[in-house]
Amino acid sequence: MNSFTKILTNTLKHEGLYSNDPDDFGGETYKGISRKRHPSWPGWRLIDSYTPPFSAKFEEKLFHVVKKFYRLKFWDEIMGNKISSFDVAQELFDTAVNMGNHQAIIILQQSLNLLNRNEFLFLDLVEDGVIGPKTLYALEIYLKKDSSENLLLWMNVFQGMHYIKIMKKSPLQEKYARGWAKRIELSKR
């Protein structure tokens, strides 16, 4: 239903290239793929065989490995093809890439439940971070009743709250506050 390639391209605009910031909880990353969280990603073998900065030709070679990873680990897991709204699919995917699928889906479920109050469009969702028929049904029912704008706004609010928790837990992470705020702003397409 939605164009994975277009959504991936939008997300990669603010994922950056290669980074090995010792303050970043993710540690060494390439286009948002953390070696700590995804040590068996095939791209690490390519990166280990090459010294940064990477050439355009090398980046092109890596892009195919990156695309496959993001499709399998994020797009397919959040059921992006089953979401009728491009903007919601983009936001959910981007949040999943940045925070993980579980947290992104919780944010979607929290937002849907918040917007369902006093409307009773669907039974409130269990905020379990698992996307399935009930969450997809609730999303589609909501989108028939209202535009995606309110949903995206609340998803961004919950995303911001998550970043605040990270920074309160570890003030060293405050150095990423501007980038995180920009990421939320960019998601308002």
Residues 62 and 103 both lie in one domain: no
Q: Which of 178, 185, 3, 9 is nearest to 97 (CA)?
A: 9
Residues 97 and 147 both lie in one domain: yes
Residues 71 and 156 both lie in one domain: no
Q: What type of residue is 168?
A: K
Domain membership of residue 21 as a residue range: 4-75
Kindly state the tokens that stand for 178: 């501007």
- pLDDT beyond 60 at 187: no
Res 166: pLDDT:
83
Residues 131 and 163 both lie in one domain: yes
pLDDT tens per residue, range 123-132: 999 999 999 9
- pLDDT beyond 50 at 83: yes
Residues 39 and 94 both lie in one domain: no
- Among 53-57, 83-87, 103-107, whose mean pLDDT is lowest? 53-57
Core vs surface per residue 16-36: b (16+ CB within 10 A) or e: eeebeeeebeeebbbbbbbbe
Residues 124 and 181 both lie in one domain: yes
Residues 176 and 100 both lie in one domain: yes
pTM tops 0.75, yes or no: yes
Q: What type of residue is 131?
A: I
Residues 70 and 86 both lie in one domain: no
Residues 51 and 89 both lie in one domain: no
Q: How confident is the model at residue 86 (pLDDT cuts 50, 70, 90)?
A: very high
Q: Quick check: 117 and 125 in contact, CB under 8 A?
A: no
Residues 84 and 62 both lie in one domain: no
Q: Which of 75, 92, 115 is the last residue of a domain?
A: 75
Q: What mean pLDDT do residues 31-48 have?
A: 92
Q: Which of 75, 90, 112 is the last residue of a domain?
A: 75
Q: What mean pLDDT do residues 76-103 have?
A: 95
pLDDT tens per residue, range 133-161: 999 999 999 999 998 999 999 999 999 99
pLDDT tens per residue, range 100-125: 999 999 999 999 999 997 778 899 99
Residues 14 and 105 both lie in one domain: no
Kindly state the tokens that stand for 24: 């970043």
Residues 111 and 175 both lie in one domain: yes
| Alpha-helix runs per DSSP H in 15-173 | 43-48, 56-70, 86-99, 101-116, 133-145, 148-169
- pLDDT beyond 70 at 186: no
Kindly state the tokens that stand for 48: 């280990």
Please give the tally of structural domains in the chain.
Answer: 2
Q: How confident is the model at residue 1 (pLDDT cuts 50, 70, 90)?
A: very low
Give all strands of the β-sheet with 33-34 in edge-to-edge order.
Answer: 18-20, 28-30, 33-34
